[in-house]
Structures are given as structure tokens and as C-alpha cells.
Amino acid sequence: MLGGLRVHLREGTCIPRSGKEYDLCGKGALKVFVEGDASSGVVGIEGRAEEEFAEWPVEISLNVRPQAFVAATNASIYDGAWACNEAYMGRGRPEDCAGLPSNYPKRPSVDLDVFKWWLQPWATPYFGEDFPDLLPFTIALLAQLKDGGYLALLAASSQDLSGYLWEGWTLRAYMGVKSRTISRSWVMAYGLSADPYEAVRRAWAALAAHANLKLRENKRRPPFLDRLGWCSWNAFLTDVSAKGVLDVVRRLRERGLPISWVLIDDGWQRERRVEQPCCINRVITSLSPDEAKFPGGFEEAIGALRSLGIKWVGLWHTLNVHWGGFDDAVDEELGDLGIPYGSAKAPPPAFPEALQLYRRFYNALRGFDFVKVDNQCSSRLAARHAGEKVGRAAGALQTALQLAAEEAGLDVLNCMSMNPENYSNYFSSNVMRTSNDYVPYWREGARLHALSNAYNSLFFSELVWPDFDMFSTYDPYAKLHLVLRVFSGGPLYITDRDPERTNADLLRMAVLPNGEVVRVDSPAVPTRDALFENPYKGRKLLKLASTVRGKAAVALCNVSDKRVADGLTPDLLPFRAPADVYYKVFAKEGGRTPRRVEVELEPLDCEVVILSRPGLVGLAEYVLPPYPIVDGKPIAPGTPVVIE
């Protein structure tokens, strides 16, 4: 699989001579390691040179002959309609932004570089039919090979390097600084199998055996994921306040909606604005919230939320504490451990100093149950400011953050983190946002949000529970958003601003009377016929499959701009499951499973199909009818669906 090698030194490029180790044109030596076998393994790099290696020191060509492939890149390949966020708050007209184009899939800008790229922390899927060559900053790939079988590749980070798949079907390694040494660093994992899903599993298993991560099934599932939540972000943006949060939550619960957890998002901080190379940025000036927004501090707000019946309360912050870092007063509160970060400070990308800083930070945030840690891509900038190798910097920051959170009893919801240096270090945290932000009202955004989350679940659900982000129940595409979040297995949370407009009937299809969310047994992934053909183009429906209480469940959604007729056959499932009878949840029809279950949908509509043995399928009132059936008996009121 590995081909030719190029090594970039400070003074030029060397095409080394091969041997037990590569001779760097008389200036040093480099080793490329493959640990594994024909079915799975990892690729590593180690080297030393008389002159410094460049920031991007190594390129390795890949001998891959794909018949078709799907991949995910950190490069920006569509445009956003961020004005819809303002329209949702009443500061604009939804009709002015709803139809704005996305230009997906557009080719990334030719002037990509790491410093600019740090603002692109998301992964967006693309398909071989659109880009036969790989795009820069590709982090995951599944290919159907011309000579048979399937190959999964995962970009990885450890020690000194972060790996990326790149144009020309190459593997590129990034160090971030110039150095004469590269310690052994794992930069890519691979998995090969006759089954595409097994290829992905094998790649992750190989990476978990070598990197600073554990697989999802080996980590604790945060308990708040099993209940319905509410987040302040789209509801208030940065205008969040204790009064606003309490008012919305109170009114939602008065409507009988069992909101069990609340996330206080960005906007709670005391801050000042500074000019930094990226933008006009925001620097936090105190670990206490803005007293004008939270006059009684966090303690009073948390107490009031708990009095309303809220069991878990979370708080948003960034990996570097705030977007632009923190000032000297906050640095003093955190132990004077910060490093220079533009005109502010940031956590030190070194261990154990970073652990001490995060411990102090979380000690100041008593009363919370979890944190949403955003802007994790800033680990790369912290490394640059500290003059540290990116893999080491990110490993230190992630290890410190997760250990400090564990000690404080906080679960971590990871965000803006779909970069190798972050996800390669998830040994404890078990939830990760798998798409760019949800944008209310934006039609193209709904399509792309669905597409991104679906295919990123294919690549990352072995590592974490995917977070498809919050949504509004009175968004025109709320049904699509609800169905997909139920199939994610991750958090289901809303960002409704006006509780009187909340679509309570829609929510009740996904939430039991006790507040428990109906959910699949494991994150749903695309069916076999959807792996390599882009459903955005309208030739097929997006089909995501999992099981619920052991019964097959498939979400069929139209993410194109035209009406689509498609079908489902049991052999398309990623797993084997009984399929004697079928039931269409929204059409409320079923019977003996025909050769092909036909479904025809308008754009941005969904159907859910359950495949089962004859007998009790579930309760008709729920998106996943089998979920409220335990040991053959209903655990909630509803209408039994029985198909013989």
C-alpha cells in the first residue's frame, strides 16, 4: 500500500534511497514503520537529520486503486448562510436566508495553509464521483478496491506528528515546527476486509492499540444523553442570561415537555475584545459569569434550574478557555501557567502544567455536570505559539483536559474537534460533534447537516457517540432533524426560543413520558447501497441503519432537491437481522416484507422502516416503535403494532 517517499528539509526536498532505513541524501536517516498485518495496522515515522526537517516533513505515496470511495475532509467545501442565526432570533427575515446556496461540493481554496485552516475544524464528506483525487486535509476514507474488498484509512496523530491524506493519493505528515528529530509517531491506521463496515472497525481497533484513545464501547456513556435537553445557543446566541434560560425552560416544562438537561452556551463570560491575526477576538477577563447576565452567579442559576426539575446542567467553554484566550487576571486564578497567545494567554501545551490549569478551572465551575469544550482546533495554534510539535501539544492538552474533567465529575462534549490531533487522544471523553453548526431555516444547511452527520457517523461512531447538534422544533425541516438525531444514538436536544411555537407532538414521538429518549442500540450508519453514491444528488435516498431492542431500524431521508423513489431490501443492512415483516412508522402501514420495501419522499422528508419477526413490533406513537417494548411488554402508553 505504501509507495515512494519524499522528505522535506529546511534547505530542500530529498527523495531518499531505500533500505533498512531511508538515507536522507547523506543528511540523516528516516524509518517508516508498519505494525500490523494484511487486515489492519498502523503506519509510523521516525527520523533524525543534520539539518532541520520542515513543518511538513514527510510525504508517502499510497498505492490504492479505488473503484469508488467516500471520504471526509477538514477543508472547507461549502459556504454557510450564517445570517439565518440572526433571523431565528428575529433580527432578520427567514425568507431572505432560507434559499441561500451552499456551493457544495466546491473545491477548496488553493491558498490553504495550517494557520488559516485552524478555523475549519469540521469534517465534510465527499465522494469519488465528484473528486476522483483526494482533497487536502482528508482525515478518513473508505474505498471499494478494483481488485476486490474494501480499504478504510484514518488519519492519526501521536508524539511529534499529525497525519493527513492528501492530493495525489499521498499521506502527508505535519509537525508544525522545524526540528532535527522526529520521534516514533503513528500517522495513519488502515483496515482491509471483504465487508466495508468491518474494514472501518479494523482500522479503529488498530489505532486504539497504538494511540491515546479508547473505542466508544470501552468508554462510559454520559447519562444525560439518555434524556431530552435544551441548549441556549441558537435561542439566544451570545445574548444568553439566567433570566432568559430559566424563562424558556420553565415554559417548556409547563407545556409538559420533560427537559432533563440544559447547556448554557457561549455568552456567559466577562470579556474584552482584542485584535488577533485571525480576527477581532474575545478574551475572557474572569472565571465568574457576567453579573449583568447572571446576577446571582452560576450557583443561583443552577439552583433555579434544578428547582424546575433539571437534573444535569452543562457549561460551554473552549479548549483555550475562551475564543481569544484569557487575560492576566484569569491567568493568576489559573496558577500563572498560561503561555502568550497573541495579546492574551492560553493553556500551556505541556503536561502536567496543563492538568494543573484545567484542575483550577473546573474547581471554579462547581455545580455543573458536564462541559461542552469548543474550539479544540486551537490546540494547533497553542502549539505554534509555544514552538511545540503539534502532536505533543495536542496530546498534552487533551490528556490534561480529560483527566481534570474526570476528577471533577464532568462529562465532556467535544466540539470543533474533528482533527487528528484531537480525536486521536479521546481516551476518556465519549461524545463528539460530527458536523458544522446547525443553522435554522436554511434549506441547503439541512441537507448538508444530514449528509455530514450520516457519513461522519460511518467514520467516527467506533470512537464516540456522534452529536448531531441541537435543532429547533419549529424549523421547517424539524422532522428530518429529529429522525436523524434519534438514529445517531447521541444527544437529542433542542434550542427553541419560543416555547409557544415548540412542536410538542413531534418531540413526543421521540421522548417517553418519563423523559427518556427513544434511541438506537448503536449509532446508525449508511446502508450498503448508500456508501459510495452521494444522496445529495437525488438518485437515492439517504438510508441509515441500526437496531433498536434487536430489531432492524432504517431511516430513509431525502436530502436532495427533488422527489426521490427508492427502496430497501434486507441485504442492504450493515448487519443481519430478522426481516419477516416490515412497518413504515410515518405511513403507518406494514405487512409481510416484500422483495423490496418501496419508499417515495419529497425533499427533506423522512420515513422510518422497522424490520422484524412477526408479532408485536412496537408502539405506533414513537419514531422507534420497538424502543418502549421491554421483555415483550410496553413500558409506556401507546397503540400496539402487531404484524403476523
Q: Catalogue the active-site residues.
A: 374, 437
Cβ pair 64, 190 in contact under 8 A: no
Burial 544-566 (b: 16+ CB within 10 A, else e): bbbbbbebbbbbbbbbbeeebeb
Cell of 252: 417548556
Please state the φ and ψ torsions of residue 17, each to the nearest 5 degrees: -80, 140
Burial 357-385 (b: 16+ CB within 10 A, else e): bbbebbeeeeebbbbbbbbbbbbbbbbbb
Supply angle C-alpha 237, 490, 219, rounded to 5. 120
CA distance 640 to 597: 22
- Alpha-carbon 27 to chain mean position: 42
Cα–Cα nearest to 98, from 486, 506, 606, 604: 604
Residue type at position 640: P
Cα dihedral angle (473, 476, 480, 486), rounded to 10 degrees? 0
- H or E element: which one contains 298? helix 297-307
Question: For the chain, how many helices (H) and strands (E)?
Answer: 15, 37
The β-bridge partners of 642 are 616
Cell of 399: 490528556
Cβ pair 177, 190 in contact under 8 A: no
Please state the φ and ψ torsions of residue 456, each to the nearest 5 degrees: -70, -30
Cβ pair 146, 31 in contact under 8 A: no
CA distance 445 to 342: 33
- Cα–Cα separations (whole angstroms), residue 409 to 160, 226, 253, 512: 31, 18, 27, 27
Please enumerate, as own/partner, the contacts of 176-179 that have beta carbons within 8 Å and a separation of 24 or more: 176/55, 176/114, 176/380, 176/383, 176/384, 176/388, 176/389, 176/390, 176/393, 177/55, 177/383, 177/384, 177/387, 177/388, 177/389, 177/390, 178/10, 178/52, 178/53, 178/54, 178/55, 179/52, 179/53, 179/389
Q: Which residue has the cell 458536523?
A: 435
CA distance 503 to 494: 11
CA distance 166 to 463: 23
- Cα–Cα separations (whole angstroms), residue 523 to 181, 188, 330, 480: 41, 24, 40, 16
Burial 505-539 (b: 16+ CB within 10 A, else e): ebbbbbbbeebbbbbbebbbbbbbbbbbbbbbeee
Supply angle C-alpha 41, 44, 46, rounded to 5. 160
- Cα–Cα separations (whole angstroms), residue 536 to 141, 450, 607: 18, 9, 17
- Cα–Cα separations (whole angstroms), residue 84 to 123, 161, 270: 21, 38, 26
Cell of 310: 433539571
